[in-house]
Amino acid sequence: MTVQGSIPAATEVVARPRRGRVLLATVAAQSIEYYDFLIYGTAASLVLNTLFFPSGNTLTSTLASFATFAVGFAGRPIGAAVFGHIGDKFGRKPALLAAMLLMAVSSTLIGLLPTYETVGVGAPVILVILRVAQGISVGGQFGGATLLALEGAPPDRRGLFGSLPQLGVVVGMISGTLVFLLVSHTTTAAQFSAWGWRLPFLLSVVMFPVAYFVHRFLEDTPEFHRATEKLSTLKGSAPRSSVLQVLRRPRQLLLVAFTFLPATIAFYGIVTGVLHYATEDLEIPKDMMLTVVMLSMVAFAAGTTGFAWLSDLVGRRKVYAAGSAFSGAWAFALFPLLETRSFPLIILAVSVGQLAVGAMFGPGTALMAEAFPARVRYSGSSLGNQLANILGAGLAPFIMVALTAATHTTVSVSIYMAASSVVSLVALPLVRRAKEEATRQD
């Protein structure tokens, strides 16, 4: 017996012990992936600008450093396409495993990379290549981690289960911030600049045992096997590549990307752009802002799981629309609260902002997955998510710095963030659910 508004059959046979293993592995994988990916943003805010892009001009060096941060997002659609094809044709598990190993190698190499002072222009060139590799990895692993959890969920808990791997963003961000705080407190400024910043990247080696766990103990989802069996009976009636199938009808892909735009802009605008603005323009101590960002992740986690749970009850679109609208409005309160330089008000500003982001991330994961049928779901949801990230998150810190420098006011940044919410609210009602999906969650 199935619940109206859910995918029947295969998801019902997933045993609880397996669900536990899947959730543990996917949260761990997401945690380390985003730890590796996000520590680059922290390093770009604090030290990479002077070590790899010395120019004699602080603004120029900072923009160059944030440009390499954005380059990582340029690699994410490549990862979504490559690993999306693998994930839809060969399985969610092998695609996730390959993406994890790529991240472990590229992040470790960043920690070993010589600086501009040592090897000259070769240093930033290699840094950009490794950053692109990080982006390809994140672009590839998102679909694997999310779909392993979502496609094995109870029929009426797909929103909640699909959101749980996103807690890896929280764990990754908090652990990365803690590592940077620990290193900065135990080294002098000279030591941090010389070698301390490398330690967070070198810790990426912990990805290897997690990858072994995925390889050894996880199975692919029943939905993937069911879609594969169904496709095998069609004998060449559809294009071999799931990526091509998605790109042949780009309307749905673009609508998903535009819908998710404010979630990416607000999240990375806060954890990277606001961090730079507060420490450089407002001269708030770095340790204080790193602590604020870390604490705000608790609000993000609560918002992600709480609103995902709510979306299973009242519908994805209603919850997502409310989060998007509130996030756009809160952008006009965010910077005035920061400018008070009051620690409690700064925590309020950043935490409420991340709570609103959680209201989008929570239901958004299932919303994106449910927009595509199972046979192309890895490619479709991954490409939609990564397109939103390259248009939004990757450029957000750069645009924030450029707007503030050009207008001499943060109001322009607030307008930019609010405009992305308007775009999302226009696109959201136009996103269709895949035919094989029920309509109850709309």
pLDDT at site 30 = 81
Reply yes or no on whether the pLDDT at 407 is more than 80. Answer: yes
Higher pLDDT: 110 or 16? It is 110
Reply yes or no on whether the pLDDT at 1 is more than 60. Answer: no
Reply yes or no on whether the pLDDT at 2 is more than 70. Answer: no
Q: Mean pLDDT lowest for which of 8-17, 80-89, 104-113?
A: 8-17
pLDDT digits (tens, 9 = 90+) for 179-196: 888 888 888 888 888 888
pLDDT at site 308 = 94
pTM: 0.76
The domains of the chain, with CATH numbers, are 9-430 (1.20.1250.20)
Reply yes or no on whether the pLDDT at 8 is more than 50. Answer: no
Reply yes or no on whether the pLDDT at 9 is more than 50. Answer: no
Q: Mean pLDDT lowest for which of 47-51, 174-178, 231-235, 384-388?
A: 231-235
- Supply 154's token pair: 């109870």
pLDDT digits (tens, 9 = 90+) for 158-177: 888 888 888 887 888 788 87
pLDDT at site 232 = 61
pLDDT at site 442 = 53
Reply yes or no on whether the pLDDT at 239 is more than 70. Answer: no
Tell me how far apart the alpha carbons of residues 67 and 135 are, in angstroms, rounded to a whole number: 13
> Average pLDDT of 104-127?
89
> Average pLDDT of 41-51?
80
Tell me how far apart the alpha carbons of residues 337 and 377 are, in angstroms, rounded to a whole number: 41
Reply yes or no on whether the pLDDT at 19 is more than 80. Answer: no
How confident is residue 312, by pLDDT bands cut at 50, 70 and 90?
A: very high
pLDDT at site 11 = 40
At 289, give phi and psi (nearest 5°): -70, -35
> Average pLDDT of 407-412?
92
Q: Mean pLDDT lowest for which of 13-17, 252-256, 334-338?
A: 13-17
> Average pLDDT of 146-156?
80
pLDDT at site 303 = 94
- Supply 139's token pair: 């672009």
pLDDT at site 71 = 81
pLDDT at site 233 = 62
Rounded to the nearest integer, the mean pLDDT of the chain is 83
Percent of the chain clearing pLDDT 70 (strictly above)? 88
How confident is residue 236, by pLDDT bands cut at 50, 70 and 90?
A: low
pLDDT at site 50 = 81
